[in-house]
Structure 1
Amino acid sequence: MKEIYAIIRVNKVYSTKKALEEIGFPSITVFNYRVFGRGKQKGIVDEVSFSVSPEVSQMAKHGGMKYIPKRLLYLVVDDEDITRIVDTIIQANQTGHYGDGRIFVCPVEEALRIRTGEKGAQALA
């Protein structure tokens, strides 16, 4: 099993969720609040959905913004599904511009369903 963390643009959550549902993976966790970050470009003013004063916009061009609002999606899946899921997340989020996000894939030692006590792949179904 693997866990997938995807840090994406705020406006891409719905399209990502829909794309994952279409390939048979409706179960995701989305951290919708207080997820912020920035990449090596130090933040992009045009990416935020709120108005930014000209002064802040000018400062951002020279020194970057402190953080940009993002969303964090989390899934745990079987190893054989990783490529298909990662490709789907990329297709739903790739614009070719800074700020498209990051995907991290990590090993999962065990999964347990609290309600039934199922373990491993059965806990994911």
Structure 2
Amino acid sequence: MKKVEAIIKPFKLDEVKDALAEVGIQGMTVTEVKGFGRTGGKKEVYRGSAYVVDFVPKVKVDIVVPDSMVSDVIDAIEKSAKTGRIGDGKIFVVPVEEAVRIRTGERGEDAI
């Protein structure tokens, strides 16, 4: 099993959710996060004074999938979240050793 973590622009969430549903994803966890990358944030002007917004609002989508679905999930996220501009986000894949469904006690892939 793998955990796919995607940091995306907030307005792309519905498109990503729909794309993931098309490849068979039935559940995910979504968290509002803030961060910055190479650009270091963005400059804005308020009442004539320039200031830097260090942290840009983003959305983090977490999905645990069987190894066989990882490439489909990555492709779906990449295609649906892409705008072609700076700040489109990142996708990370990390191994998951165990999963347990609390309600039933199912373990491993049966729990996801």
Q: What TM-score do the two structures reach when normalised by structure 2?
A: 0.91
Q: Secondary structure at the match of 2:73?
A: helix
Of 17, 40, 43, the match for 1:42? 40
Report the identity percentage: 41
Partner of 1:11 in structure 2? 11
Aligned length: 112
SS state of the match for residue 75, structure 2?
helix
| 2:42–2:54 contact (8 Å) kept in structure 1 | no
Task: Give 1:45 shift.
Answer: 5.5
After superposition, residues 56-95 of structure 1 pair within 5 angstroms as 58-60=50-52, 65-95=53-83
By percentage of residues, which structure has more strand? 2
Q: Which runs of 5+ in 1 are unaligned?
A: 47-51
4+ residue runs of structure 1 moved beyond 6 angstroms? none
Which structure: greater helix fraction?
1
Q: Give the drift of 1:59.
A: 3.9
**Aligned equivalents of 1:55 and 1:26: distance in 2?**
48
1:112 and 1:120 in contact (8 A); partners too: yes
Question: What 5-or-longer segments of structure 2 have no aligned partner?
Answer: none
